[in-house]
Amino acid sequence: MDDVDAAYAVVRASGAEIAHPLQDEEWGVRRFFVRDPNGRVVNVLGRR
pTM, full prediction:
0.88
Sign of the CA dihedral running 13, 2, 29, 34: positive
What pLDDT score was predicted for residue 34? 98
SS (H, E, C) 1-48: CCCHHHHHHHHHHHCCCEEEEEEECCCCEEEEEEECCCCCEEEEEEEC
Q: Are 43 and 21 in contact (CB under 8 A)?
A: no
Question: For every one of its 48 residues, what pLDDT tens digit does the chain have, with 9 covering 90 and above?
Answer: 899 999 999 999 999 999 999 999 999 999 999 999 999 999 999 998
Domain ranges within the chain, ordered by starting residue? 4-47
What pLDDT score was predicted for residue 4? 97
What pLDDT score was predicted for residue 1? 86
Asked if the 4-47 domain carries CATH number 2.40.50.140, the reply is: no
